[in-house]
Amino acid sequence: MTTRVTTEMRRPHGLWSSSWIFVLAASTAAVGLNNFWQFPLLAGEHGGAAFIVVYFIFVLLLAFPLMVAEVLIGRIGRKSPVYSLHLISLHFKSTPLWSLLGWLSIITILLLLASLSVVGGWVIAYFVRSSAGVFSGLTESGVNSIFYQFVEDPEKQLFWLGLFVFMTTAVVARGLKGGLQPMIKYTAPALFALLLVLLVYSI
């Protein structure tokens, strides 16, 4: 284990070029895709304003402290989750079993990637269809019919899923400065602009 940690410490790791890009990345990750496609439905089904109040209470009590802890672990360790927790446990002379929490976080991320990649494929497919005017003039039942036809076609599902995974891999493979940071710089403001447009449209 010590040899693996030493090897990890010698590897160069990318650093964020500016604080505001990191804030954009963290904010985008915190907002997430679920807040766009699940939150409105859940809020409508579970009490509206009361649900939102409880939601924000749990965000402040649970989600925000966990996010701060995650940022601090990354800032102190500057390695992968497993090695960061291992090095921190060594520094504070604690049990090395804390590194298991790093493995748990990696497994959780893989599970989220597996599920959200499917939704990401849907987003790309619907963006192409809406840009082509497929949904123009359709009623709610017509839109639902297109969706059910889409999800029941495994070949189309696999194609859009593969395209999403390919695009994600292409960005991640270029590293932090060559891939993720330029992507965040342009897409994060677009995400919040889209959120503002949806807010104005819903009024």
- Note the pLDDT tens digit of each residue in 163-184: 999 999 998 888 888 888 888 8
Question: What percent helix, strand, coil does the chain show, rounded to 5?
Answer: 85, 0, 15
d(CA 200, CA 73): 38
Whether the CB-CB separation of 188 and 24 falls below 8 Å is answered with: yes
pLDDT of residue 2: 47
Could you give the number of structural domains in the chain? Answer: 1
- pLDDT score at 11: 53
Closest C-alpha to 164, from 120, 125, 131:
120
Q: Where are the beta strands (DSSP E) in 63-177?
A: none
**pLDDT at 166 (0 to 100):** 95
pLDDT tens digits for range 22-49: 888 877 777 766 676 777 778 878 877 8
Range of the domain at 194: 2-8+17-202
Low-confidence residues of the chain, pLDDT below 70?
A: 1-14, 32-34, 36, 202-203
Query: Which amino acid, residue 75?
Result: R
pLDDT at 12: 53
pLDDT of residue 164: 94
Q: Any residues with CB less than 8 A from the CB of 90 and at least 6 apart, and which?
A: 96
Are 16 and 176 in contact by the 8 Å Cβ rule? The answer is yes
pTM summary value:
0.73
